[in-house]
Amino acid sequence: MSPLDLLVATPLGFMLAALAFGGQGRWLILVASPLMMSLAVWLVFLPPDAAHVVGGWDLPLGILLRGDGVARVFVLGAALCAALVGLQALYEFSPQSGGPSARNRGFWPLFYLMWAGANAGFLTTDLFNLYVALEMVSLAGVGLSALGSLQAALRYFLFALMGSLAYLLGVALLFANYGTVDITLLARTAEADAATLMALAVMTGGLLVKSALFPLHGWLPPAHAAAPAPASALLSAIVVKLGFVILMRLWFEAFATLAAPIAVGLLGALGAAAVIYGSIQAMRQRQLKALVAYSTVAQVGYLFVAFPLVAAAPSAAWSGMTLHAVAHMLAKAAMFLAAGLMLKAAPGRDIADLVGLARVMPVTVTAFALAAISLMGLPPSGGFAAKFMLLDAALDQGAYIYAAVLLGGGLMAAVYLFRPIAVAFSGAHGRAVALKAPLAAVAPLALAMCAIALGFFGVAFAELAAIGAPWAQGDAIGGVP
Amino acid sequence: MSAAFDILLCLMILATAGIALFVRGAFAAIAFFIAFGNLLGLAWLALGAVNVALAEIAVGAGVTGVALILACSRLFELGDNLADVRTPLASRLGSAALCLGFTVMLAGVVLTIPPGDRLSKVVAPLLPGLGIENPVTGVLLAFRGYDTLLETFVLLGALVAAWSLTPDASRRLPPTTMVMTDPTSRIVAEAFTRLLAPAALIIAAYLVWVGSDLPGGAFQAGAVLAGALVVATLGGVVVLPRLDSLAARIALMVGPLTFLAIGLAGAALGGRFLAYPDGLEKTLIVTIEYALAISIAAGLALLAIGPPQPMPNNARADAR
Amino acid sequence: MLVEGGHVFAVTGAVLAGLGFYSFLVKRHPIRQLLAANVVGAGVFLMLGGLGRSPGGADPFAQALVITGIVIAVALSALGAAMVVRLAACGDKDEAPLGEKREGP
Amino acid sequence: MTSESLLLPAAVAWPMLLALASLTPGFRSCLRAALPLAPLPALAAAFLAPREVLVNAPELLLGGGGLMLTDAGAVFLGAAAGLWFCAAIYAVRYMRDDAHPVSFALFWNLVLAGNLGVFMAADLASFYVFFALLSLMAYPLVIHDRKPASLRAGTVYIVLAVIGETALLVGFMLAAHVADGAIMIEEVRAALTASPTQPATLWFLIVGFGIKAGLMPLHVWLPVAHPAAPTPASAVLSGAIVKAGIFGLLMFLPLGATFEMVGSVLAFLGFAGLFAAALLGLAQTNAKTVLAYSTVSQMGLIVGVIGVAQAAGTPAASVLAAVALYALHHGLAKGALFLGVGLAQHTTGAWRWLVVMVLAAVALSVAGLPLTAGAMVKEVIKEPAGALGASLIGVSSLTSGLILARYLFVLPASATQTRPPLMLLAPTVALAVAALCAPWMVLTWSAATIDYEPSDLLSQVVDAWPLGFALILAGIVVLLRLKCPTLPEGDLLFLMRQGLLGANATLRRVGRFAQAMATPVAREQRTKQRGAAWLNYLDSLERAAQGQAAIGGLLLLVAAALGAALLYG
C-alpha cells in the first residue's frame, strides 16, 4: 500500500459510495476529508525518491507513479482545498438548501471524481494516463459548472473538448515517434524533430485552454461566475492547476532540451498579457463573482510569467512558481466560498449590493479580505512569498519587464479586490440579511488562513517543491536545442 | 491490390466524413457519420486491429450515432430545426486557411514518422504469464489496467453529470419517454427485439469469453448489449430503470467496484495496486471483464438514451 | 513506400483531423460541433493506428489506447448531446437559479 | 541564547496570540481588559533584552533572518511600547460602548505586533512583513466607526499604503540585489553605502518609508486618516506608527556615505514640510487634524535632518542616537496630546483647566521651551542638522508654537461631565510626564554617543525668541478674537479633487462649445462613441475570446505560434 495509489483509489471508492448511498451520500465527506488529508500528509513525508509502476508492469508498457516535489505540494494543496470546499458543500448542497435534488446528489460523485482525477494527474508521469486524468477533471468540471448555468457549461465543454483533442493529438504523435508516452523516458530520448515539436506545440495549445491562459480563457469567466460557489472554488483551484502542472512537466522535464528561449518567452508574454488583461477586465466587472473569475485569469498569467524565469535559472523561480500556484489555489477557493456566502446574504449579485455586509457577516468578509491579501501579494501571505521569490529571480536575471508585470499586477489586484471589500465595510443600512448558518464561514476562513500561513513557510515549501525537480538533477534547463 | 483497397477505403472515409461534416440536414449528417464510423471499422480491420474495429463500429459509430440521432429528434420536437447559421465568408476563408495549414503540417509530420509496431515485442513475452493470448486485452486490463480503471469512472461520471441536468419533476420518469409512436414500426421493433435480445446476450457473453484469447472483450460486449437495450427501449419492450433505482445502481457500479476492489486487494496482499496474484491472473481478468461488460452496457445504454426529458405540455396532458 | 506502411491511413487521419477542425470552426450548432469533434478524434485515432501498423499486424499498445479513447469520446459526446437538449428544453434556467434567496439550514 | 533574548520573539508573538484569542468566543468578555497586556513583553524587552544579539528561527519566512535589538531600536521600541500601553489603558475606558469590540481588539493587537516587530527586525523579509502588517492592518482601525468620512479616509490610506508597500518591495529587492542576495539589514546597508551607483534603490525606499512617515508631498493620507480613527488609535498612529517610517529611513539609508542629490532633496522636502504643514494645520478646526498636521511638520524636521546628514556624509552613529531621542520625545508627547483630545471631551470646569495646563506643558516642550526635554532634544538634533538646518529648527519653534496654540484653542469641550474618568486621565498624564522626563533618562544612558552640553540659561532663553514670538502672536489673536482661515482636511488631496472636478467641467464646457460650433447631433454621438471606444473594444475582445470561433481557432493559432517559436528559436 502506498499513498501514490490510495490517493486515487480512495476518492474513486468514495464516488461509488456516494452513488450507492444516494441522498445520504453527502455525509461521506466527513470521513473523506480527514482520510484524504492524512493520505496527502503521508505523501509529503515519503522518502524523496518515492515512485513505483502500477501493478508492477515496467516501463515503457506500464504507468509510473511518482511523488516528486511538485506532486507533493499540489496534492497537499488540492487536499486542503477539496476537504474544506467539501465541508462547505455539505451545507450548500443539503436537501434543506432548496436546490433541486438531482443537483444536490449529482454534486458528490462528480466532486470525488474530480479529486481522484486531480490526484491521478499530479502523480503520474504517463502522458496518456494524464489524458484520462485530464478528462476526469474536465468532465467533473463541466458537470459541476452545469449545476449553475447550462449555457456556460456547454461553452466550457466545447472548449475542454477541443483542448483534450489537441492534447491527444500530441500524445499520438509522441507515441508513434518514440514508442513511449512516459515523461521520464521521453526526457532521455526526445529529439528536436518535426513530430516532437509539433506535438509539443499542439499539446501546449490544448493545455493552455485547460489552464485558461489568455487568450484561451474564454470558457472560464462565464463558467465560474454562474456555478455554485463550491463548484467555482474547485474549478479555479484544481481544474486550472492540473493543466498547468502538465505543462510544467512537458516544458521543464520531458522536453527541457527543446524548450527554445523564444518559445518560453512567448508563453511568458502571453502570461504578462493575461495579467494585464485579466486585471483590467476584473476592474470593469459589476458582479462580484465575475470579478473573482477574471482575477483567476490574471493570476494564471503570473504562473506563465514565471516560465521564462524558470527556464533561465530554475532554482529560485521554481519555488516561486509552485508556491504561487498553491497559494492561489487556497486563496481563490477561500474567495469563491466567501463570495458565495456573501451573495446569499446580499440582496443582489452586484458589488454595489454588498453594502453593510461586514456588519452582518464579519467572519465571511474577513475571510474574503484575507484571501485578497494573498492574491494581491501583500505580506505576510503565500502570495507574497511567491511574488518575492519570482521578483528576486526576475531582478537577478535582469528581466525588468517581468518584474514590472509582477508588481503592476499586484497593484491592479489591490485596486479591483479592494472595491468589494470597501463596499462591504461601508454603509450602516445595507439590505443584507444574515445567514442562519454561523458555521458556514469556517471553511473559507480556514482556507484563507492557510493561504496566509503559507507565507511563513516559504523555505520549507521551497525545499519540498524541489524534491526530484528536473533541474535539481544537475542539467540546466532550456536554452540549448 | 491491398494498397489499392486501402486507398479506396481512405477516399471513401474522407468522402463520408466530408458529407457528414458539411451536409445541410442534421439527420443526413448523422446518418453519414454512422456510415463513416462503419467505414472506419473497415479501416481498422485493414490495419489488422480487429479489437478496435469492433469497438469503433459498436461504440464509436453505434452508440454515438444513436445518442446524436435521439438528441436531434428531441431538438426537432422542441422546435430547434438545427438550422445552420452561415458564418461570414471572411471567417470561413480564415478558418479554411488555418485548417489547411494545420492539415498540411500534420500530414507532413506524419510522413516523417516511419510506421511500425513498437511494443508488441515487449508485450508478447509477458502474455503467457497472464494466461491470455489477446495482447490488446492484456494491455487494457493488465499493463494499462490503471487507465482502464480510470476510464470506467469517466463513463460513470458522464452519466452522473448528464443525469444531474434533469429537473426534479421528470426525475421520477424512466430515462426516456420516447417510444416509437407509429404502430407498424413499433410492431417491427418489438418483434425484432424479441429475436435480438437473447442473441445479443449470447454474443456479448461470447465476446467477453473469447476476449482473453481472440479479439473481443468487455467494451465490445458491453456495446453490443447496450445496442440491444437501446433498440428494446425504443421498441417499448423494455423500460430502462431510473438512475436511482437499485437495479440501475448495481448494474452501473458492479464493474468499477469489482475492478477497484480487485486492484486494492492486490495491493493489500502485498503486491502492488492493480497487480494480480500469481496463478489467478486469468480468473481475475475474466471476472473483471464480465463485471465491466455489465456496467458498460448499462452505462452506454443510459447515456445513449439520455436523461429523462421534461415532457412538453401537450404530452403531459396526454399522459393524464 | 508510402503505401506499404500505414501511412495512407495516418495521412487520412491527419486530413480527417483538419476537416473536423474546419467544420468545428464554421458550424455554429453545438450538435454539429460535437460531430466535428468526433471526426477529429477519429482522425487522431486513425493516425495512431496507421503509424502503429507493421506487416505483422497492429501495435497492441496503440490499439488499447484507441479503445480507451473511443470510450471516453462516446461518454463525452453523450454528455454534450444531453446538455444541448436540456438547454433547448429549458433555456438557461435552472430550477434554483443562483442569487435566489434561500434559507440555510 | 539567554532567557532575556527570548523577550524579542515574545514581544511580537504575544500580541499576535492575543489577536488570535480575540477571535475565540469565550474570550469576548475580557477583550478590552486584555489590551494593556499586549505591549508589556516589548516594554520589558526594551529595558532587559541584550543588544545586538540575533534571535532567529531559520524555518520561518526566507530563513536566515531573525530579530535583533539595536540601541536605537531599543529607544524606538521602548517609546512605542510605552505609548501603546498608555493608549491601551485609555482605550479600555474610551471604547467602552464600542460597537465592534472584536474587530478593534483584533486589529489593535495585529498592528501592535507589526509596529514592535519593525523595530526589532534584523532581515529584510521580516522587516517587510512587519511593516506590511502594520500598514495594512491599520486600515480597519482607520475605518473603525464606519462613517462615510472615515471610509473615504480609509480609502486614501489604503491606496497610499499599498503604493508604499510596492515601492518598498521593489526597493528591498533591488537592495538585496546590490548586496548580492544578502538579506540581513546591516549587510544590505553596508552594500548600499559602498555602491554609490544605486540611487534608484534609495528613491524607492524613500517613497516607501516617506509615505508612512508623512513626508511631504506623500503625507496626504495622514491629516485625514489620523483624525478618523478612534482617539487611542489616533494616538498610536501619530505617536508610534509614523515612527516606523522614520526608523526604516534610519535603517536603510546609507548614512555615512555622501549622496548629495538624495540628501538635498530629502532635506528640502523635510524642512519644507516642517513649515508648510504647520501653516496648513493652523487653518484646521478639528483638534485631531491640527495634531496630525503637527505630526507631519515634526516628521519633516526629522527627515530634513536625515537628509542633511545624508548629503554631508555624517556618520550613522550620531544621527541615529539624536533622531531616536527626538522621536522618543515626539512620540510620547504626541500621544499625550491626542489622548488629551478625548479627555477634554469629558471635562469641564477646574478639571478642564488642569488638563489644559498639562497639555500646554507638553505642547510647550514640543515647541522647545527652554529647560524642557523638548528644548534638549532639539539641541541634540541640531548637531547633525548642519548650520542651516540648526537655524531652521530654531525658527520652527515659531510655527510649532503657533500650531500647538491652535490645538489648545480648538480643544473640544464637554457640557455634561465635570470630572474626567481616571482611566482616561491617568494614561494621558502618565504620557505627559514620560514625555517630559524620559528623554533625560535616555540621555544619561546614551551619554557615550550623544554629547549634550547645555548652554547657559540666558543664551537658551535668547535662542527661544521664535517661541516667545509665537506666544505673543497667539495672544494677540486670542485678544483680538481674530479668526483663522479654514481649509478642508487633506490639503493636496482636496486640491487634487477640486482640480479634477474643475478640469472635468472645463473639458465639458469646451466640448459643448465645440459641439455648438459643429453640426450638433452627429458630432455628439461620435464623441460619445470615441470616448468609450477602448472600453467597447475590450468588450468585443472578450466576446471574441468567449465565442465559438475562439474555441478551435485561437487554439490553432497559439499552437502555430508556439510551433514556429520552437522551430526557429
pLDDT score, position C68: 92
Residues 56-75 of C with CB under 8 A from B: 56-68, 70-75
Distance from CA of C33 to the nearest CA of D (A): 10
Is B266's CB within 8 Å of A193's CB? no
| Closest Cα in chain B to D559 | B102
Of B113, B156, B275, the CB nearest to A195: B113
pLDDT of residue C103: 33
CA distance C83 to chain A (A): 7
C-alpha closest to that of A204 among B147, B112, D566? D566
Numbered residues of chain C with Cβ closer than 8 Å to any chain D Cβ:
21, 24-25, 28, 33
How far is Cα A85 from Cα A233, in angstroms, rounded to an integer?
7
Inspect the interface and report whether the beta carbons of B98 and D557 lie closer than 8 Å: yes
DSSP symbols for D175-189: HHHHTTT--BHHHHH
Distance CA A407, CA A391 (A): 8
Q: Is A416 on the interface with D (CB under 8 A)?
A: no
Most confident range (mean pLDDT) of A123-137, D200-214, D374-388, D416-430 is A123-137
C-alpha dihedral, A207 to A212 to A213 to A214, nearest 10°: 130
Q: For an interface test with A, which of D60, D147, D558, D568 has the most A Cβ atoms less than 10 Å from its Cβ?
A: D558
Q: Which residue has better confidence, D273 or A243?
A: A243
Residues 6+ apart with CB under 8 A from A204: A247, A250, A251, A267, D558, D559, D562
Nearest CA-CA distance, residue B164 and chain A, Å: 5
Q: Where are the domains of chain D?
A: 7-480, 491-568
- By percentage, how much of chain A surpasses pLDDT 90? 42
Neighbours of chain B (3+ CB pairs under 8 A): A, C, D
- A378: contact with D, CB 8 A cutoff: yes
Task: Say whether residue C21 is in contact with chain B using an 8 A CB cutoff.
Answer: yes
List the single range of A292-301, A465-474, B1-10 with lowest mean pLDDT.
A465-474
Q: Residue D81: is it exposed, middle or buried by C-beta count within 10 angstroms (0-12/13-18/19+)?
A: buried
CA distance A322 to A74: 8
Cβ-based contacts of A97 with chain C (< 8 Å): 102, 104-105
Out of B54-58, C23-27, D393-397, which region has the weakest mean confidence (pLDDT)?
Answer: D393-397
Residue A99: the pLDDT is 65
Contacts of B138 in chain C (CB under 8 A): 60
Q: Would you place residue A335 in the very low, low, confident or very high pLDDT band (cuts 50, 70, 90)?
A: very high
Q: How far is CA D264 from the centre of its chain?
A: 22
Residue C7 forms contact with B (CB below 8 Å):
yes
**Given an 8 Å threshold on Cβ–Cβ distance, is D555 in contact with A388?**
no
pLDDT of residue B182: 67
C35 touches chain A (CB under 8 A): no
Confidence of residue A428 (pLDDT cuts 50, 70, 90): low
CB contact under 8 A, A120 and B150: yes
Closest CA–CA distance from residue D529 to any residue of chain B (Å):
25
Quickly count: other Cβ atoms within 10 Å of residue B199's Cβ: 11
Query: What pLDDT, on a 0 to 100 scale, did the predictor assign at position B318?
Result: 41
State pLDDT tens for residues D299-318. 888 898 888 888 887 787 77
Residue A477 has pLDDT above 50, yes or no: no
The answer to whether the CB atoms of A458 and D546 lie below 8 A apart is no
Question: Chain A partners of B264 at a C-beta cutoff of 8 Å?
Answer: 9
Which residues have C-beta within 8 Å of that of residue C83, sequence separation ≥ 6? A142, A146, A150, A153, A154, A157, B162, B165
Residue extents of the structural domains in chain C = 7-90
B229 touches chain C (CB under 8 A): no
pLDDT mean over A255-271? 89
**Which of B150, B171, B271 minimises the CB distance to A102?**
B171
Q: Output the CA angle D379-D384-D390, nearest 5 degrees.
A: 55
Q: Which helix (H) or strand (E) holds A302?
A: helix A288-312
> B40, B119, B144, B176: which to substitute to probe chain C, counting the most C Cβ within 10 Å?
B40
Instruction: Over range A4-18, report the average pLDDT.
Output: 91
For B67, which of C14, C56, C77 is closest by C-beta distance?
Answer: C77
Q: Could you tell me which residues are beta bridge partners of residue A51?
A: A66
Residue D282 confidence (pLDDT): 80
Put simply, the answer to whether B273 touches A129 (Cβ < 8 Å) is no
Query: Does residue A348 sit at the C interface (CB-CB below 8 Å)?
Result: yes
Round the average pLDDT of chain D to a whole number and report it: 79
Three cell numbers at A197?
515539436
Distance from CA of A163 to the nearest CA of B (A): 15
> Which residue numbers of B have CB closer than 8 Å to D's CBs?
87, 91, 94-95, 98-99, 101-102, 105
Confidence of residue A89 (pLDDT cuts 50, 70, 90): confident
User: CA A447, A449, A452, A458 torsion: positive or negative?
Assistant: negative
- Whether A119 has a pLDDT exceeding 90, the answer reads yes
Distance from CA of A104 to the nearest CA of B (A): 8
Please give, rounded to a whole number of angstroms, the shortest distance from the CA of B206 to a CA of chain C: 19
Contact A202 D143 (CB under 8 A): no
Nearest to B97 by CA among D556, A170, A214: D556
ipTM confidence score: 0.82
Tell whether the torsion through CA atoms of A374, A379, A380 and A386 is positive or negative: positive
Distance from CA of A173 to the nearest CA of B (A): 8
| A106 closest CB neighbour out of B115, B123, B164 | B164
Which among A110, A176, A195 has the least Cβ separation from residue B157?
A110
Q: To the nearest whole angstrom, how far is the Cα of B76 from the nearest Cα of chain D? A: 22
CA distance A45 to A40: 9
Task: Give the model's confidence band at D519: pLDDT under 50 very low, under 70 low, under 90 confident, else very high.
Answer: very low
Q: Which residues of C touch B168 (CB under 8 A)?
A: 95
Q: Is A101 on the interface with C (CB under 8 A)?
A: no
Chain C residue nearest residue B9, CA to CA? C9
Q: Which residue, among D45, D128, D115, has the nearest Cα to D83 in the 3D structure? A: D115
Does position A198 have pLDDT exceeding 80, yes or no?
yes
Confidence bin at A248 (pLDDT 50/70/90): very high
CATH number 2.60.40 is the correct assignment for the domain at C7-90: no
- C-alpha to C-alpha distance for A144 and A142, rounded to whole angstroms: 5
Closest partner residue to D556 (CB to CB) among C21, C28, C33 is C21
- With an 8 Å Cβ cutoff, are D553 and B98 in contact? yes
Residue D15 has pLDDT above 50, yes or no: yes
Cβ <8 Å between C105 and A344: no
Q: How far is CA C82 from CA A148, A172, A176, in A?
A: 16, 29, 34
- Pairwise CB contact (< 8 Å): B252 & A194: no
Cα torsion angle, A411, A413, A415, A417, sign: negative
Minimal Cα–Cα distance from D532 to chain B, Å? 26
The partner residue sitting opposite B107, judged by closest CB among C14, C28, C60, is: C14
Write the residue in A154, A173, A437 that is nearest to C104 by C-beta.
A437
* pLDDT exceeds 70 at position C101: no
Give the residue on A whose Cα is nearest the Cα of B256.
Answer: A16
In a 13 Å sphere around the CA of D406, the CA atoms on its Cβ side amount to: 29
Inter-axis angle of helices C60-90 and A127-146, nearest 10: 10
Interface residues of chain D, partner chain C, Cβ below 8 Å = 548-549, 551-553, 556
Mean pLDDT of A302-331: 89
Q: Give the other-Cβ count within 10 Å of B192's Cβ.
A: 15
* Shortest Cα–Cα distance, D568 to chain B (Å): 16
Name the nearest CA neighbour of A223 among A279, A115, A108, A144.
Answer: A144
Percentage of the residues of chain D whose pLDDT score is greater than 90: 0
Q: Return the bridge partners of D184, or none.
A: D123
Inter-CA distances, A138 with A234, A357, A362, D38, Å: 11, 34, 35, 50
Which residues from A are below 8 Å from B160, CB to CB? 19, 106, 109-110, 113, 143
For chains A and C, CB pairs below 8 A equal 114
Mean pLDDT for A316-337 is: 92
